[in-house]
Amino acid sequence: MDKLLQKYKCAPSQEGKEWAQKFWKNQEKVVEIFEQFQASRKIGQRKGKGVICAVLGACLSCAQQEAKEIPVPKLISDVEYTALKSQNEVLKSSLAFERETGKTLGIRVDKLLNENNKLVTENYKLVSETNHLKQLLERFSHLLNRIQPSAPVKQVHRLMHSADPESWNGDFWFDSDDVKKIADSEPQSISLRPLVKTETTVDDDEIRTTVRMIPWSPAELVKIQEKFSRWSGESEVEYVWQASLEGGDRVMLSEEEAGGFWGPGVFLTTTPGDHNYSITAQAAYWAGGIDPQERREPLEIIATSYSDLAVAVQKAACIQATYERDEFRKSPMLAPIDPVRLTPLIHGLPDCLKMFVANTQDRIQAARRDGDRGRRRNPNSPIPTWSEFVQ
C-alpha cells in the first residue's frame, strides 16, 4: 500500500502515519484533518485530491495492520457443531419444562393457599364450637353434681334434654304432672310364653285350682330356632346379647323344647329341674361355662348417646347373667345390679353420664358392704335391678 501511494506521490509522512494509528477509526477526526490541511496550505477544492489520498491511505494501512494482528477465529467441526446444537435443544426443552412446571406450581400454590384459608376458617369455627361445648359440659357437670343420689336415669335424661343450665334451679322434676306423664309413658309388662292358664272350680264347697301350660307348637319352635340361632362368627357374649335384644327374655322353653340345633356349638341347657327358662337364661348358662377371654367378653360397652343407654345396660345385664348362671330364670334385667358389672358400662359411656353411673356403683358397693343382697331378699334395698336402673 505504501509503494502504491508513493507511485502517485501521495504517500503519508511519518507524522501522518502516527496520527492515523491513533484516529483512523474516528470519522470526525479524519474530516477535521482534511479541513486543517486545506486551510493551512490554501488548497482548492479541486486540488486537494493528493491530501485526501494520503490521509485515506494512511488510515487504510493502519486498518490492514490491525486486521493482521487480530487472531483468526477458531473454526469448529461439524461434529462439534452438531453436539452444540443438540445441547442447545436440550437447554431449550429444559427451559420450557421449567417454565411450565413453574406455572403449574404457581397454580397449585394458589389452590393450596385458598384451601389453607378455608381450613383456617373452619378451624376457627370448630374451636368456637368446642369452646361452646366445653362450657355446656361444665354446666351439665355442675347440674349432675346437684342431682340427688336417688334420682333415676329417666330424670337425668329429662334434665339433659329439657333443662336450661343457665336458669335451672334444681327442682324442676318435682312437678307432679310431669312425673305422672313419665310414669304413664312407661311400657306395660308383656306376658311370657308359653301361656299358662289357671282354672278355678268350686265343688261341694271345695275350691279346686287347675293350672295348665300350653306348650309351643312344632311350627312355632321352628320359627324360634330360626330367630334365636347363633350366627357364624358370632362370639358367645354376642350371642347372649342377640338373644336378649331379639326378645329372648320373654320366650320360655322347657328342657325338651330347648333341644335341637341353635347354631355352631350352642347347647341350651340349664340346671336340672322341670322349670321353664327363657332363651336368654339358657344362652347365658351355656356361655357362662366358657372362659371370659374365650367368649370375648368386652372391657367396655359403648353408648355414644342417651338413646344407646338402654341397649348398653341390657348388654351389661347379660354379661352379669353369664356369671350368675343359677340366679334367674327369665330376664337378666330383673337381677339386682352387681356393681362390678357397671365398670365396662362406665368405660363406654359419654362423660355426661359417667359420673351418675359411677355414683350409682358406689352406692351399691356401700350397700353390699353392709350385707344388703338386693330387693329379692329386702324390698327396701337401695340396690336397684337393671330394669329399674334403666328406667
pLDDT tens digits along 123-150 = 999 998 888 888 877 776 666 665 555 4
180 located within any domain: yes
Asked if residue 235 and residue 335 are part of one domain, the reply reads yes
Q: Which tens digit of pLDDT belongs to each residue from 337-369?
A: 999 999 999 999 888 888 888 888 998 888 888
In a domain, 33, yes or no: yes
Q: Is the dihedral of CA 342, 348, 351, 352 positive or negative?
A: negative
Segments forming the whole domain that contains residue 59: 2-69
Q: Do the domain assignments include residue 205?
A: no
Same domain, 253 and 371: yes
Q: Based on the fold, state whether residues 250 and 352 are members of the same structural domain.
A: yes
The answer on pLDDT for 153 being more than 70 is no
Higher pLDDT, 380 or 331: 331
- Of the residues 90, 125, 145, which one is the last residue of a structural domain? 145
Mean pLDDT of 201-218: 70
Buried/exposed 69-95: b ≥16 CB within 10 Å, e otherwise: eeeeeeeeeeeeeeeeeeeeeeeeeee
Dist CA 171 CA 126 (whole Å): 34
Question: For 88-113, what is the mean pLDDT?
Answer: 91
Residues 353 and 300 occupy one common structural domain: yes
Verify that 328 and 380 share a domain, yes or no. Answer: yes
Section 366-386 average pLDDT: 70
Asked whether residue 204 is domain-assigned, the answer is no
209 part of a folded domain:
no
Cβ atoms within 10 A of the Cβ of 152, count? Answer: 16
For 142, the grid coordinates are 355442675
Among 382, 329, 327, 336, CA closest to 359 = 382
Q: What is the pLDDT of residues 284-313, one digit of tens each?
A: 988 888 888 888 899 999 988 777 888 999
Query: Does 275 share its domain with 304?
Result: yes
Statement to judge: residues 239 and 134 lie in one domain: no
* Residue 277, C-alpha cell as written in the block: 327358662
Same domain, 372 and 229: yes
Is the residue at 271 inside a domain?
yes
- Same domain? For 302 and 347 the reply is yes
Report if residue 368 sits inside a domain. yes
In this structure, the answer to whether residues 233 and 348 fall within a common structural domain is yes
Q: Is residue 285, in this structure, part of any structural domain at all?
A: yes
54, 69, 84 — which closes off a domain?
Answer: 69
Give the H/E segment covering residue 366. helix 351-369
Number of domains in the chain: 4
295 with 352, same domain?
yes
Residues 134 and 30 occupy one common structural domain: no
The answer to pTM > 0.75 is no
Of 37, 69, 101, which marks where a domain is finished? 69
